[in-house]
């Protein structure tokens, strides 16, 4: 196996979570842009990156340095992990987080996504997955972080998204009408997942007719940020929410963009409404900084920490409790599988006899379709056939799905979309190996992808 490559980075603009950046092109006021950049001095114009870009955002002739159109880019960094010449760079919050870790007043929290725990070992010479979760938690603690696992919040996402889907089944498939179901009246099938910010931005920019179909549930990281600064601050950590500095540790560069979106200041709004902070407090985001798997490895290196050498013992903490359904979010089909388990239980009244809904696991195919029969306890056991699709590596697939939906509105009830091939495990913030990491190159026929 080749060595992990170093990826060049650059600092975010001052006041990154931004009040300075104005509305421009496809970006709203405050949203970060230019998160992924091509270094014009290092690009040889080989055009490899273009074939991995889901939105045709990369422009340039063969042999000439390429450029990224900021307005078309969805910040996924699939171009970066697949550039054979290391010419693509990522905005990084490493220096900002290092500074916060020195601040005695700051309560700095590491919020690690499922996929980071399977990839971080590679940065320290181990194999993928060569690390226990406890080693990772211990490494965070040694570096000065408090721990709050994103998986805890992913379980919340499942409940939110599963419940929302059930409401749609009741309203749209079973014709039930009640006050409780009113809000889904404007959100018909198919129901699309919302936890991949690259997909959400792609839909907003290129397929706006799909917006009413996208789940209203926030991504696990964003749910986690809001929960940390409200419930956990008050009942678990017993700290001032304004002292909390939430650091999402993710396989994903699009999460950097997501964290800057103006609506993701729910904790601030809640605390103001409930008079828990002074009314003149300046707005703050739910997530204060985002580190990729590569970035957190850099922080560990600067602090002389090798997580592979740490103890794998640790007592379970309140904010690190989660189910197996949360863990599979990192894999294509995982969100769908987790939500289906919840929907099946609530609609039928009993657990799936085998909770492994293997048919939706999409990491070997770029589109998976299936029909899941669910007996309805409130309708005398009547069966509803839930038609689903799982899409990953969105470069060609989104257009294909949109075409199928336009051809037949009743084609699917539930569609999961993950921008990266195989899902977040292959995200643009993961460790990079020379000549690219993507084992699912979109131009190769499936049997040749390895």
Give the nearer residue to ligand SF4 in terms of CB position, either 307 or 330. 330
Does residue 36 touch ligand SF4 according to CB under 6 A? yes
Q: How far is the CB of 343 from ligand SF4 (least distance, A)?
A: 22
- Please select the residue that binds ligand SF4; options are 114, 225, 251, 333, rule is CB under 6 A: 251
- Please select the residue that binds ligand SF4; options are 78, 147, 230, 285, rule is CB under 6 A: 78
Instruction: Pick the closest to residue 150 from 195, 192, 91 (CA basis).
Output: 195
Does residue 150 touch ligand SF4 according to CB under 6 A? no
- Please select the residue that binds ligand SF4; options are 68, 184, 249, 267, rule is CB under 6 A: 68
Task: Take residue 184 and report the two structure tokens written for it.
Answer: 């889904």
Give the nearer residue to ligand SF4 in terms of CB position, either 228 or 420. 420
Cis peptide before 190 (omega within 30 of 0): yes
Measure the CA–CA gap between 157 and 329, rounded to whole angstroms. Answer: 10
In which residue are the tokens 């950049």 written?
37
- Please select the residue that binds ligand SF4; options are 5, 26, 45, 355, rule is CB under 6 A: 45
Measure the CA–CA gap between 363 and 392, rounded to whole angstroms. Answer: 8
Q: How many residues bind ligand SF4 (CB under 6 A)?
A: 39
422 in Cβ contact with 392 (< 8 Å): yes
Measure the CA–CA gap between 364 and 356, rounded to whole angstroms. Answer: 16
Q: Which residue is nearest to ligand SF4 (CB)?
A: 427
Measure the CA–CA gap between 153 and 227, rounded to whole angstroms. Answer: 8
**Residues in CB range of 441: below 8 A, 6 or more apart:** 51, 52, 82, 449
Does residue 70 touch ligand SF4 according to CB under 6 A? no
In which residue are the tokens 């929960």 written?
227
The stretch among 204-212, 265-273, 291-299, 414-422 that binds ligand SF4 (CB under 6 A) is 414-422
Give the nearer residue to ligand SF4 in terms of CB position, either 62 or 448. 62
> Distance between alpha carbon 146 and the CA centroid of its chain, in Å?
21
Task: Take residue 372 and report the two structure tokens written for it.
Answer: 């899941």
In which residue are the tokens 């091509």 written?
38
- Please select the residue that binds ligand SF4; options are 4, 7, 77, 133, rule is CB under 6 A: 77
Give the nearer residue to ligand SF4 in terms of CB position, either 241 or 330. 330
Instruction: Pick the closest to residue 80 from 71, 67, 89, 72 (CA basis).
Output: 89
Measure the CA–CA gap between 309 and 237, rounded to whole angstroms. Answer: 28
Instruction: Pick the closest to residue 381 from 350, 414, 337, 357 (CA basis).
Output: 350
257 in Cβ contact with 28 (< 8 Å): no
Does residue 48 touch ligand SF4 according to CB under 6 A? yes
218 in Cβ contact with 142 (< 8 Å): no
Does residue 46 touch ligand SF4 according to CB under 6 A? yes
Does residue 326 touch ligand SF4 according to CB under 6 A? no
- Please select the residue that binds ligand SF4; options are 4, 16, 21, 83, rule is CB under 6 A: 83
The stretch among 146-154, 170-178, 420-428, 439-447 that binds ligand SF4 (CB under 6 A) is 420-428
Does residue 47 touch ligand SF4 according to CB under 6 A? yes
Does residue 75 touch ligand SF4 according to CB under 6 A? yes
The stretch among 75-83, 104-112, 156-164, 360-368 that binds ligand SF4 (CB under 6 A) is 75-83
111 in Cβ contact with 225 (< 8 Å): yes
Catalytically active residues, by annotation? 161, 164, 195, 215, 255, 258, 263, 424
Measure the CA–CA gap between 345 and 341, rounded to whole angstroms. Answer: 6
Give the nearer residue to ligand SF4 in terms of CB position, either 88 or 360. 88
In which residue are the tokens 């989104």 written?
398
- Please select the residue that binds ligand SF4; options are 16, 32, 81, 88, rule is CB under 6 A: 88
Give the nearer residue to ligand SF4 in terms of CB position, either 191 or 255. 255
User: Taking the alpha carbons of 133, 134, 137, 139 in that order, is the dihedral positive or negative?
Assistant: negative
Measure the CA–CA gap between 40 and 428, rounded to whole angstroms. Answer: 20
Measure the CA–CA gap between 39 and 86, rounded to whole angstroms. Answer: 9
Give the nearer residue to ligand SF4 in terms of CB position, either 86 or 375. 86
Does residue 54 touch ligand SF4 according to CB under 6 A? yes
DSSP string of 275-339, one letter each residue: TSS-TTPPP--S--EEEEHHHHHHHHHHTT--GGGS-------GGG---HHHHGGGSTTHHHHHH
Does residue 254 touch ligand SF4 according to CB under 6 A? yes
Does residue 85 touch ligand SF4 according to CB under 6 A? yes
Does residue 194 touch ligand SF4 according to CB under 6 A? no
Q: How far is the CB of 251 from ligand SF4 (least distance, A)?
A: 5
Q: How far is the CB of 221 from ligand SF4 (least distance, A)?
A: 9
Does residue 421 touch ligand SF4 according to CB under 6 A? no
Give me the residues that bind ligand SF4 (CB under 6 A), please. 36, 38, 43-49, 52-55, 57-58, 66, 68, 73-79, 83, 85, 87-88, 196, 198, 251-252, 254, 418-420, 423-424, 427
């Amino acid at each position: 196996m080749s060595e992990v490559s170093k990826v060049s980075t650059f600092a975010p603009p001052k006041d990154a979570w931004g009040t300075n950046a104005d509305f421009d092109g496809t970006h709203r006021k405050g949203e970060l842009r230019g998160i992924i950049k091509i270094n014009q001095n290092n690009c040889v114009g080989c055009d490899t990156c273009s074939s991995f870009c889901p939105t045709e955002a990369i422009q340039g002739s063969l042999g000439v340095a390429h450029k990224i159109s900021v307005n078309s880019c969805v910040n996924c960094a699939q171009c970066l992990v697949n550039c054979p010449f290391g010419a693509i760079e990522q905005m990084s919050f490493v220096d900002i987080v290092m500074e916060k870790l020195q601040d005695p007043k700051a309560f700095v929290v590491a919020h690690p996504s499922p996929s980071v725990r399977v990839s971080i070992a590679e940065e320290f010479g181990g194999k993928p997955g060569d690390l226990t979760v406890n080693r990772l938690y211990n490494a965070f603690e040694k570096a000065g972080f408090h721990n709050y696992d994103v998986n805890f919040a992913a379980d919340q996402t499942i409940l939110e998204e599963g419940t929302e889907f059930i409401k749609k089944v009741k309203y749209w498939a079973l014709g039930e009408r009640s006050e409780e179901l009113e809000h889904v009246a404007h959100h018909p099938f198919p129901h699309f997942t919302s936890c991949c910010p690259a997909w959400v931005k792609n839909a907003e920019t290129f397929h706006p007719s799909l917006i009413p179909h996208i789940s209203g549930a926030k991504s696990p990281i964003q749910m986690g940020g809001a929960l940390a600064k409200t419930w956990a601050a008050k009942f678990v950590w017993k700290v001032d929410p304004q002292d909390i500095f939430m650091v999402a540790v993710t396989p994903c560069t699009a999460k950097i963009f997501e964290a800057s979106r103006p609506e993701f200041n729910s904790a601030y709004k809640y605390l103001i409404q409930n008079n828990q902070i002074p009314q003149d407090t300046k707005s703050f985001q739910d997530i204060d900084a985002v580190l990729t798997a590569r970035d957190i490895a850099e922080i560990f290196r600067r602090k002389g920490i090798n997580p592979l050498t740490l103890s794998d013992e640790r007592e379970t903490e309140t904010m690190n409790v989660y189910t197996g359904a949360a863990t599979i979010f990192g894999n294509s089909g995982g969100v769908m599988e987790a939500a289906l388990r919840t929907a099946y239980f609530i609609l039928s009244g009993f657990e799936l006899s085998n909770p492994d809904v293997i048919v939706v696991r999409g990491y070997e195919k770029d589109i998976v379709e299936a029909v899941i029969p669910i007996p309805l306890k409130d309708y005398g056991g009547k069966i509803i056939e839930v038609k689903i699709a799982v899409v990953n590596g969105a470069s060609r697939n989104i257009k294909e799905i949109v075409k199928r939906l336009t051809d037949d509105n009743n084609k699917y009830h539930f569609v999961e979309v993950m921008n990266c091939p195989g899902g977040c495990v292959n995200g643009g913030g993961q460790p990079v190996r020379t000549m690219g990491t993507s084992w699912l190159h979109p131009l190769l026929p499936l049997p040749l992808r390895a």
